[in-house]
Amino acid sequence: QDVLLAGLPCCPQFIRILFIFWLCQATERAENVEREAAKRQKELEKVEEKLIEEKQRTSALKQEMDAMLAEFQQL
């Protein structure tokens, strides 16, 4: 271990600083991923709402077409 750390200045202190820096970077990346996931979740919810609206609209149009077809068949 001493051989590996021999080239680093103030080894224990330097390693602690590097570790803290790495930990901060990892935490920041994790927070960015969480924010991006939350953003995508909101986008997904909006798309799902639009899909529900389109299904309802399609269902209403189908009912209207069925009613028109029934009227036409009675003629």
Dump pLDDT digits (tens) for 18-43.
888 999 999 999 999 999 999 999 99
Determine the structural domain holding residue 50 and report its residue range.
2-74
Count of domains forming the chain: 1
Side chain identity at 59, as an amino acid letter?
Answer: S
Mean pLDDT (the chain) is 88
Cβ neighbourhood burial of 11 (10 Å; 0-12, 13-18, 19+)? middle
Structure tokens, 61: 């149009």
pTM: 0.59
- Alpha-carbon distances, residue 21 vs 9, 16, 30, 40, 44 (angstroms): 16, 8, 14, 29, 34
